[in-house]
Structure 1
Amino acid sequence: MNSTGPELVRPRAPERPAASPRTIPARPPWRRWLPPLGEAALSCGAALGFTYWSLTVPDDPTNRVGQVSGLAELQLRLLLIALPVLGVVLVTAFHGSRTVFRGVVRAAGALVAGLGTGFLAGGIVFALSGTPWPLAGQGDDNGRLEDWAETILHTGHMPNIYPPLLPHLTAFVAGHFTGGEPAFALKQLLIAFVALTGPAAYLSWRMFLRPLPALAIGMLTALPVGLPYKPYSTFTLIIVVPLLAKTLQLMRRAPRLPLRDSVLGGAVVGLGLGLTFLLYAGWHVWSAPGFALVVAAFLPWRAGKDALLRALAVLGSVGLAFAAVAGRYALLLLSAIGTKDRWCSPMVTVDPAFIAMSPYPYRASSAMGGWPPPGEFGGVGWFSVLLVLGIAVALSLGLHRSPVVTALACFLSAWCVRFWISSAMERDQAVQLYVRTYHQLLYTGLVLLGWAVILTGRWAGRMMRQLPGGEPSVISRRVPALGVLLAAVLLGGMAASATADSYLPMDPAKYGWLSGQAWIAQQIRKPDGQCPKYAQGGHCTPPRPYQTSYDPPAPDTGNLRTCDYPWHRGGQ
């Protein structure tokens, strides 16, 4: 039966109003800076806090038994801090969420980076117990820095082409915190530089790496190249190479990033390069030839006019920021380019291809022909062999990465400059500070070795995941973090203790120059007329007056000075 009436339609329920989309509040831009700032605060706080705690080590630093007890005390304190941190990492590895575990590892990496060089600074604090004077007292480079700072306090300027930041900083601290005593201010600043070297290395490599790889490279480099008697130089080196790598990275990414962000990033990097140039300029100079070639090679010449202009804009912002901070001093340095350096330090008479270690920490090296030590592989030690293999692997696996390319360029640049200057040394009777390229070569070589390990580990991980059942569990991915942190604590403590031990005060007439630096500081009378607590036999010498007027330089004889050292080959 067909219905001829109208079609029956089921009445519809009234429609609900459409739900408004949930509004997620925008994250304030400043909040993304909180985690990095927290890492920096934790790492620097750990370094400076451990250093300050070292003031309470009660042992005698001039007695060998007391020295051993003091170093053991510092190791115990390191473990008292590190073991609970490792325990927290272990618990969160098994029971924590992904976010919690990552946060704990991030904090632990920053903390351990600070503790490593905090231990070393604590060892220097222990070596200088009872005396307000810095290493070497009023002698060597420190004595000249003190005189320049005193001159700045009286005249506002320094009569030298030395990088001006540290003398001015010393004068400021002396004028506001140490009663006008530049030597006492310099002691505090040098110890602070030693302590902050680890955080500086870690935070610099955090621009490119996650916490644990950044910790590995930071600890691998900060302690071996550390110079407690001149820490501002290696502090600068540890920052300069990552800043140059960041310059290259920003330049390469400029065609794909907003121009404003690229230029602003370049300006910040240029500011950092300028400040480090005012602190110590040698690394910039020795790295410049190699880095210039790398920049020219990676400029986007074939990517179009817009891409090239964006890359050049980054380089321009770096250069303008650098010039704004350090341009005046750079011009002053260029005006003195013909100055001859005729000082022949112990390193001048060492085989120029030997960069594995310095003779200064080794008291036995003062024996006739005792340096460098014989190597196992064609006269080369296995450490050097490992370093070269690391450079080769890093080059093979990471040539497309800006940090690897930059470190390699800085290494090769310093290597070539080293031989270019030393090959003309006999003819020109000039050293031109070439021996200081040793630290740049060791640092960049260790950086490349660290990158080789990281890149090899990543390659091996990819290969393992391609195997059947090769995907690791969550726990097996987390536990290696505990191993890296434990290794960093143990190796950092060992290296810091060994370096600090070489600076503990001993009579320089018997045990060499390095351990004599703290010994000298222990023998200078304090401002109250009393001798330092550990002065030999309770006797000390009065401090010399600061030098604020300078005689004309002595006539240049045209010959190297003080080149006859015990380990000069053949004793000649």
Structure 2
Amino acid sequence: MLSTAPEQPPRTSPEHPPPPPTTAQPRRGWLFAAEAVVSVAAAALMVLLARRIEVNPLDRIGQISGLAGLQLRYALIVLVLLILVVITARVRWAAHAPTARRLTAAAAAGLFSGLVAGAILIALRGTSWGLFANYGDAGTLSDWAQALIDTGTMKDDYPPAWIHLTAWLSQLTDTAPDNLLKPLQIVGTALFGPVAYLAWRLLLSPMWALALGVLPAIVLIEPYKPYTTIMLVVMVPVLLALLRRLRRAGDTTWRGIVLPALGFGLALGVIFLIYSGWFVWSAPGVVVAALVLFPWRTGWAKGLTLIAITAAAFVAVSYRHLFGLLDASGSVKDRYFYWDTWTEPTYIAMWRTDLPGTTGPWPPPGEIGGVGLFTIFALIGLATAIAVARSRTIVITLTCVFAGAWLLRFHFGSQMYAADAVQLYPRSTAELLYCLLLLTGFAAYYGVRRFDTVTRARAALTSPSLGLGALVAVFLLLASAGSSIGDRYMPRADNSLGVLALASHLTRQTDGNCAAYAHTLGKGCFTKNDPRYHESLLELAELSPKRGELPHPRSEDG
């Protein structure tokens, strides 16, 4: 059930990588395409079903009912999938069991992000605005897209892909960029799971791609700007695949060097154009890992060719933004001192985005010298990964990337006082946390592979019962995580992520009307920068039945 990707253990040392495996089954392109279709379809189905849930999102009881309605639909779909897995596990249908498990894993990835996207759709029901209306980054991105339409140009130091996509869709549909933020946020959020799953299928079998590609990534899903963190989830497996190819360059044909190098360069270039921030944090670790894994004695010419072609293709795709970013690096200062910049800098156990958040004490009180048990377990996972697989490409690369981002975090953080600039230093939290979670997962992955040669252990690990139990647990975890994340974005009047959706309901729409449910709060709606907007938020917070939660209006005879 939990079959592993075909990376054979090194025969001698990291400097002498193994040849590509010859016993692995050939990839079946049509099955991979089927996984992609099923995953995206599952996400789309959850969003479509969410559209049929009719509740008032400015009523806390309506929010809870909406989330429960989503969970009911999710559970019924999961039940059908599990029945399919059980049926195909029977002897009569055993030949179809691998395909059923493969498609179920793909569907699970789509259902999770579709669940979150469905919650966002419910939170924004009745308003044409996306999260945070035309305030903050949402308003800035919309303004840039409109400027691109009007002038044909934009700033070279910001990743251009999202802006160009918004502008292109605006012209294609004759819709103002302001009114495209909502569908783009929902579609981008829905695609998070399928994209994460398919990216990790470059390296892992279906069940492991779900376990190691999607589960650690659920902490990164960010509906407000969905294109940012998903690029981290995609970039990591692409870099791992590139460095694995580099390590094996000496045993690879020239055709196996040139064509993949072009593909890696193009893929990394596109990722860079969508969101380039993660390249900054990853660069030191990737360089060190490449030096460690480079085939110095077995294929230096092929290794050098692989790097050169990959770099050339990357620059060819991204040169304008790349040089714009480098040119602005010494002059642009980020002075957005949001709440996480006030946090002691070693706390990386939770990524809460760079948006408002009610957290209580932050970091939360830790059990061991201020360090929480979650961090302790993650560090045990790091230690275990090194202990059981320190010579593996994946462990070497993730460890180097973590170390490089860790040092850069403190480099930028230490300069905040003198430079009076943040330079996005707290966003390294997302990458550091993701690396720790991946290393913990790969500790289990390589630990399981050590039992491959033990017949009884292999039989237990590949049994249908274990696979079914794992799927049930994963589906329940994804259901709980999806509901919790979705609830964080439900409209609230406190200093939390819920204020993003509340702003969308209280801001006058582009057609001049108020949102459909704004009247239930009795505050009307406001144009941008109207001081009454902030006064209304304070009044709503004071009248809340619980801090920040919107009331449930009762009928007169209730």
TM-score clears 0.5: yes
Q: In the TM superposition, what are the counterparts of 1:480-559 in structure 2 within 5 Å?
A: 480-507=466-493, 511-535=494-518, 536-537=521-522, 539-542=524-527
- What is the rounded CA distance, in whole Å, between the counterparts of 2:164 and 2:291 in structure 1? 36
- What is the rounded CA distance, in whole Å, between the counterparts of 1:52 and 1:109 in structure 2? 21
Give aligned-pair identity as a percent. 38
Give the drift of 1:138. 0.3
Give the drift of 1:214. 0.8
Give the drift of 1:59. 1.4
The counterpart of 1:479, out of the listed 445, 451, 465, is 465
- What is the rounded CA distance, in whole Å, between the counterparts of 1:539 and 1:136 in structure 2? 17
The answer as to whether partners of 1:121 and 1:195 remain within 8 angstroms in 2 is yes
Structure 2: state its 5+ residue gaps.
Answer: 1-25, 531-558
- What is the rounded CA distance, in whole Å, between the counterparts of 2:239 and 2:88 in structure 1? 37
Confirm whether residue 200 of structure 1 aligns to residue 183 of structure 2.
no
- What is the rounded CA distance, in whole Å, between the counterparts of 1:201 and 1:401 in structure 2? 22
The answer as to whether partners of 1:421 and 1:432 remain within 8 angstroms in 2 is yes
Confirm whether residue 442 of structure 1 aligns to residue 429 of structure 2.
no
The answer as to whether partners of 1:78 and 1:115 remain within 8 angstroms in 2 is yes
In structure 2, what is the equivalent of residue 349 of structure 1? 342
Change beyond 3 A, Cα 1:167–1:473: closer
Q: In the TM superposition, what are the counterparts of 1:130-279 in structure 2 within 5 Å?
A: 130-159=126-155, 161-177=157-173, 179-279=174-274
Give the drift of 1:97. 4.9
Alignment deviations for residues 23-53 of structure 1 (CA, whole Å, 9 cap, x no partner): xxxxxxx994211111111111211221232
Alignment deviations for residues 450-474 of structure 1 (CA, whole Å, 9 cap, x no partner): 11122222334545x3xxx666379
In structure 1, what is the equivalent of residue 394 of structure 2? 403
Give the drift of 1:524. 2.2
- What is the rounded CA distance, in whole Å, between the counterparts of 2:418 and 2:522 in structure 1? 48
3-state SS in 1 of match to 2:410? helix
Instruction: Kindly name which structure, 1 or 2, has the bigger radius of gyration based on alpha carbons.
Output: 1
The answer as to whether partners of 2:158 and 2:321 remain within 8 angstroms in 1 is no
Give the drift of 1:363. 5.6
- What is the rounded CA distance, in whole Å, between the counterparts of 2:93 and 2:324 in structure 1? 56
- What is the rounded CA distance, in whole Å, between the counterparts of 2:144 and 2:94 in structure 1? 53
- What is the rounded CA distance, in whole Å, between the counterparts of 2:400 and 2:409 in structure 1? 14
Alignment deviations for residues 395-431 of structure 1 (CA, whole Å, 9 cap, x no partner): 2222333233222222111111101111222222221
The normalised TM-score by structure 2 is 0.86
- What is the rounded CA distance, in whole Å, between the counterparts of 1:133 and 1:348 in structure 2? 29
Paired amino acid for 1:539: G
The answer as to whether partners of 2:460 and 2:466 remain within 8 angstroms in 1 is no
- What is the rounded CA distance, in whole Å, between the counterparts of 1:279 and 1:479 in structure 2? 41
- What is the rounded CA distance, in whole Å, between the counterparts of 1:99 and 1:378 in structure 2? 54
Alignment deviations for residues 274-303 of structure 1 (CA, whole Å, 9 cap, x no partner): 111011111011101110011011111122
Confirm whether residue 128 of structure 1 aligns to residue 124 of structure 2.
yes
Give the drift of 1:261. 2.3
The answer as to whether partners of 2:186 and 2:223 remain within 8 angstroms in 1 is yes
Confirm whether residue 89 of structure 1 aligns to residue 85 of structure 2.
yes
Count of residue correspondences: 501
The answer as to whether partners of 2:339 and 2:356 remain within 8 angstroms in 1 is no
Alignment deviations for residues 370-405 of structure 1 (CA, whole Å, 9 cap, x no partner): 211101122111111111111111122223332332
Paired amino acid for 1:241: V
Give the drift of 1:442. 1.2
- What is the rounded CA distance, in whole Å, between the counterparts of 1:100 and 1:347 in structure 2? 49
The counterpart of 1:388, out of the listed 372, 379, 390, is 379
3-state SS in 2 of match to 1:472? helix
In structure 1, what is the equivalent of residue 302 of structure 2? 310
- What is the rounded CA distance, in whole Å, between the counterparts of 2:246 and 2:482 in structure 1? 37
The answer as to whether partners of 2:269 and 2:318 remain within 8 angstroms in 1 is yes
Paired amino acid for 1:175: Q
Confirm whether residue 36 of structure 1 aligns to residue 32 of structure 2.
yes
In structure 2, what is the equivalent of residue 330 of structure 1? 322
Change beyond 3 A, Cα 1:205–1:349: same
- What is the rounded CA distance, in whole Å, between the counterparts of 1:185 and 1:206 in structure 2? 31
The answer as to whether partners of 1:220 and 1:450 remain within 8 angstroms in 2 is no
In structure 2, what is the equivalent of residue 555 of structure 1? none
Paired amino acid for 1:203: L
Q: Select between 102-111 and 334-343 the one with higher mean Cα deviation.
A: 334-343
Paired amino acid for 1:345: Y
Q: Select between 44-53 and 197-206 the one with higher mean Cα deviation.
A: 44-53
Change beyond 3 A, Cα 1:171–1:364: closer
The answer as to whether partners of 1:212 and 1:484 remain within 8 angstroms in 2 is no
Paired amino acid for 2:459: P
